[in-house]
């Protein structure tokens, strides 16, 4: 039993750390839209057919809002800027 736990710990420690989706989305928004993310809202995380699907609304420091969806961890986010009408909802 101890050997199995030790082996699992060694595999976990050797596995490369991956940035969370929050950091990935913030980097993509900064690069593509010059948006510095202040916070996220309306976050939904679901595993669908073995893929982590993330849906979130990103709030930029300058007041802009973006809707984002990522269908799996290997793809970039699909991002769309919210219009003033959508922002008032």
Q: Could you read off the pLDDT of 16-40 as tens digits, one per residue?
A: 444 599 999 999 999 999 999 999 9
Distance, CA of 70 to CA of 77 (rounded, Å): 5
Alpha helices in 1-89 (DSSP H): 2-14, 21-33, 84-87
pLDDT tens column, 54-85: 999 999 999 999 999 999 999 999 999 998 76
Q: pLDDT value at position 47?
A: 95
| Closest of 83, 74, 63, 77 to residue 31, by C-alpha | 77
The residue ranges of every structural domain in the chain are 17-87
Distance, CA of 57 to CA of 55 (rounded, Å): 7
Q: pLDDT value at position 8?
A: 42
> The whole model's pTM is what?
0.72
DSSP 8-state secondary structure symbol assigned to residue 35:
-
Q: pLDDT value at position 71?
A: 96
Q: pLDDT value at position 64?
A: 96
């Amino acid at each position: 039993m101890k050997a199995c736990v030790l082996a699992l710990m060694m595999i976990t420690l050797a596995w490369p750390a991956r940035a969370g989706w929050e950091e990935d989305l913030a980097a993509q928004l900064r690069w593509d839209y010059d948006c510095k993310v202040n916070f996220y809202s309306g976050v939904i995380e679901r595993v669908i057919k073995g893929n982590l699907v993330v849906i979130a609304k990103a709030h930029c420091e300058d007041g802009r809002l973006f809707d984002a969806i990522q269908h799996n961890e290997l793809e970039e986010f699909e991002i769309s800027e919210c219009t003033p009408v959508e922002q008032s909802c």
